[in-house]
């Protein structure tokens, strides 16, 4: 399978006054297209730093990072912005929706920042993205008219609208109850079955069981990189809850 992420000997240091914080220490990670990977680690493990580098929100101190065939080490600010807009869909814990803007307009927003204008009919593309997450009947609702789970589905649709190579989800169920969390994970599993590469950043072991592979960091090192022995099926769990 084709690699979409290739990280070789990645080092990330932060200088804080006279102190150098070594957040990542020679990290090697390869993620192929259509994988569903959970990145885990305690606070201070380097998990958030790795996420920021994968998402092109931060650069590396040393090493090489190839994203979907592009060498990110040589990019300028505009090229970084383009690669974030075109190759990565972001889903955050806090939804980050514009409060006075409809679901459809929220989803359409990333298309307005695509300088290459790859999508010729932004409104139709946004409608298609909302339909793919089961919100065809909520397009004209603003966020405060939607449940937490529906708001996160809007955020997922917004992440999908540019047809990115990767969906990067940072603690996407952190503000949701248990049932709604499983519903959101069901959406991610469906997207993965359709061929999307999903990278889930989480500290919850239960949530990581919905992925197919886990990468665990500690003190800036990858200490585990394993296939999930028994992947949880969100659809099955939801079906069992309905029967009960």
Q: Is the pLDDT score of 244 beyond 60?
A: no
Tokens of 224: 């585990």
Nearest residue to 172 via CA among 241, 232, 93: 93
How far apart are the two ends of the chain, measured CA to CA in Å?
A: 40
The answer to whether 16 and 65 have CB atoms below 8 angstroms apart is no
Q: Give residue-wise pLDDT tens across range 15-44.
A: 988 999 999 999 999 999 999 999 999 988
Nearest residue to 29 via CA among 210, 232, 201: 201
Which DSSP symbol is given to 137? T
- How far apart, in whole angstroms, are the C-alpha atoms of residue 244 and residue 239? 9
Nearest residue to 130 via CA among 144, 146, 117, 114: 146
The answer to whether 56 and 72 have CB atoms below 8 angstroms apart is yes
Backbone angle region of 41, left / alpha / beta, with phi > 0 → left and psi within -120 to 50 → alpha = left
Q: Give residue-wise pLDDT tens across range 100-114.
A: 999 999 999 988 876
Q: Give residue-wise pLDDT tens across range 178-221.
A: 999 999 999 999 999 999 999 999 988 999 999 999 999 999 99
pLDDT band at 75 (very low <50, low <70, confident <90, very high): confident
- How far apart, in whole angstroms, are the C-alpha atoms of residue 182 and residue 15? 40
> Which fold is adopted by the domain 34-59+77-243?
Rossmann fold (3.40.50)
Domain extents in the chain: 34-59+77-243
Q: Give residue-wise pLDDT tens across range 136-184.
A: 999 999 999 999 999 999 999 999 999 898 999 999 998 899 999 999 9
Nearest residue to 195 via CA among 34, 32, 68, 31: 34
- How far apart, in whole angstroms, are the C-alpha atoms of residue 127 and residue 108? 8
The contacts of residue 154 (CB under 8 Å, 6+ apart) are: 95, 97, 103, 106, 107, 130, 133, 135, 138, 143, 146
- How far apart, in whole angstroms, are the C-alpha atoms of residue 159 and residue 147? 18
Q: What is the DSSP string of 35-88?
A: -EEEEE--TTSSHHHHHHHHTTSS--SEEEEEETTEEGGG--HHHHHHHHHHHE
User: What is the structure's pLDDT at 119?
Assistant: 67
């Amino acid at each position: 399978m084709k690699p979409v992420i290739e990280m070789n000997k990645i080092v990330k240091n932060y200088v804080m006054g006279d102190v150098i914080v070594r957040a990542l220490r020679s990290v090697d990670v390869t993620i192929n297209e259509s994988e569903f990977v959970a990145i885990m680690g305690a606070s201070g493990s380097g998990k958030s730093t790795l996420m920021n580098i994968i998402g092109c929100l931060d650069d590396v101190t040393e090493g090489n990072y190839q994203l979907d065939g592009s060498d990110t080490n040589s990019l300028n600010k505009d090229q970084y912005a383009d690669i974030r807009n075109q190759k990565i869909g972001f889903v955050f814990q806090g939804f980050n929706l514009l409060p006075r803007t409809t679901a459809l307009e929220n989803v359409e927003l990333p298309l307005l920042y695509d300088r290459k204008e790859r999508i010729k009919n932004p409104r139709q593309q946004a409608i298609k993205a909302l339909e793919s997450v089961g919100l065809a009947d909520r397009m004209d609702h603003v966020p405060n008219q939607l449940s937490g789970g529906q708001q996160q589905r809007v955020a997922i649709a917004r992440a999908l609208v540019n047809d990115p190579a990767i969906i990067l989800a940072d603690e996407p169920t952190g503000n949701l109850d248990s049932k709604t969390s499983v519903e959101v994970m069901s959406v991610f599993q469906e997207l993965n079955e359709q061929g999307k590469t999903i990278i889930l950043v989480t500290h919850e072991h239960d949530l990581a069981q919905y992925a197919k592979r886990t990468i665990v960091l500690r003190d800036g090192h990858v200490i585990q990189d394993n296939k999930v022995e028994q992947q949880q099926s969100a659809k099955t769990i939801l079906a069992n809850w309905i029967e009960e």
